[in-house]
A = this chain, B = another copy of it.
């Protein structure tokens, strides 16, 4: 079996490296010719995943159509670029497509699997989402990692589970693709808030509360996407949220940290210098919250801090001094 991956960022490269153990070959699609050449000539991706010597059956291309000629395809590019990137692809035979992208499309308010379905014009049963607490660097170093693979067709998901699972890359399966995608999207926004809290030196108690109340915000999206609430409490929801909110390898968390330390939004974006999904996702969340009248106090504050110049300390005060109430309404 041959694997094609759309993307050559850190997550795409880590997936290539760990999955190259299970596939005959893995080929990455890079937008940037230098990245592709670096991979092909040196078995390295110095820009996105330095220090990892990639397995020899991994190569890269800038020809997107070549990726879609492989047996299984993983999509691992920033959420807002999925539609423009893959819309011109015409699949000649049925393929299983796995989304490893996280976010909500601004404007359409759609999750990655729906954007992929529309862009490639394929049946829902052939689309899967792979998500869970997985810093790319740790996956590439073969540290133990557990993820959820979700798809409507559970028999196909079981086949993929066998195909993707390695000794250090443990795959659980689920039928709730939308629930898995909600977690991957919302966690980045909450991680920004947790980073800001740590940047302000508010302590571990405050951060743990933000994670807890943030998970509660995540559950508000469940009825909108007709998902299963239990999924939110699994690896792709809670697990990924905990990882992103507490681990300094997360760009979203680091962006929040910088804001909390007093950097402006523009300075923080410049310092990170890679896609920070939460900054885009929070726009889509704002649109969803207005459309469906959702109460999302943490996301609301993150939005206001990024797009309405609300002072971060003022945002924390507003959060801490809300009316006293029951924990769950």
Interface residues of A (CB under 8 A from B): 132-135, 138-139, 141, 143-146, 148, 161-162, 165, 167-168, 170-174, 202-209, 211-213, 215-216, 230-231, 233-235, 238-240, 242-243, 246-247, 249, 316, 320-321, 324-328
What residues on B are CB-neighbors of A134 within 8 Å?
A: 205
What residues on B are CB-neighbors of A247 within 8 Å?
A: 204, 208
What residues on B are CB-neighbors of A171 within 8 Å?
A: 324
Q: Are A206 and B240 also in contact (CB < 8 A) when A174-B328, A234-B328, A327-B172 are? A: no
Nearest neighbor of A145 in chain B, beta-carbon distance? B205
B206 touches A145 (CB 8 A): yes
What residues on B are CB-neighbors of A215 within 8 Å?
A: 233, 238
What are 26 of the A-B contact pairs (CB < 8 Å)?
A132-B209, A133-B212, A135-B204, A138-B204, A138-B205, A138-B206, A141-B203, A144-B203, A145-B203, A145-B205, A145-B209, A148-B327, A161-B324, A167-B320, A170-B324, A172-B325, A205-B243, A208-B239, A208-B243, A211-B239, A211-B242, A212-B235, A212-B239, A216-B234, A230-B328, A234-B328
Nearest neighbor of A149 in chain B, beta-carbon distance? B327
Q: What's the nearest-Cβ distance from chain B to residue A35, in Å?
A: 24
- For A133, give its contact among B202, B204, B328 (CB under 8 Å): B204
B211 touches A238 (CB 8 A): yes
Nearest neighbor of A316 in chain B, beta-carbon distance? B144
Q: Are A242 and B205 also in contact (CB < 8 A) when A235-B327, A320-B167, A328-B230 are? A: no
6 tightest Cβ-Cβ pairs between the two chains A and B: A133-B208, A212-B239, A143-B203, A208-B243, A172-B327, A204-B247
What residues on B are CB-neighbors of A161 within 8 Å?
A: 324
Q: What's the nearest-Cβ distance from chain B to residue A255, in Å?
A: 17
A202 touches B320 (CB 8 A): no
How far is B138's CA from A3's CA once the two chains are assembled, in angstroms? Answer: 49
How far is B319's CA from A167's CA once the two chains are assembled, in angstroms? Answer: 11
What residues on B are CB-neighbors of A325 within 8 Å?
A: 172-173
How far is B173's CA from A321's CA once the two chains are assembled, in angstroms? Answer: 16
Q: What's the nearest-Cβ distance from chain B to residue A283, in Å?
A: 26
- For A173, give its contact among B234, B238, B327 (CB under 8 Å): B327
How far is B175's CA from A328's CA once the two chains are assembled, in angstroms? Answer: 10
Q: What's the nearest-Cβ distance from chain B to residue A137, in Å?
A: 9
What residues on B are CB-neighbors of A143 within 8 Å?
A: 202-203, 205-206
- For A324, give its contact among B138, B162, B208 (CB under 8 Å): B162
Q: What's the nearest-Cβ distance from chain B to residue A195, in Å?
A: 14
A144 touches B206 (CB 8 A): yes
B209 touches A235 (CB 8 A): yes
How far is B206's CA from A234's CA once the two chains are assembled, in angstroms? Answer: 14
What residues on B are CB-neighbors of A242 within 8 Å?
A: 208, 211-212, 242, 246
Q: A208-B246, A215-B238, A246-B246 are in contact. List 19 more A-B contacts (CB 8 A).
A: A133-B205, A133-B208, A134-B205, A138-B204, A141-B203, A143-B202, A146-B209, A165-B324, A170-B209, A172-B324, A173-B327, A204-B247, A211-B238, A212-B235, A212-B239, A215-B233, A216-B234, A235-B327, A242-B246
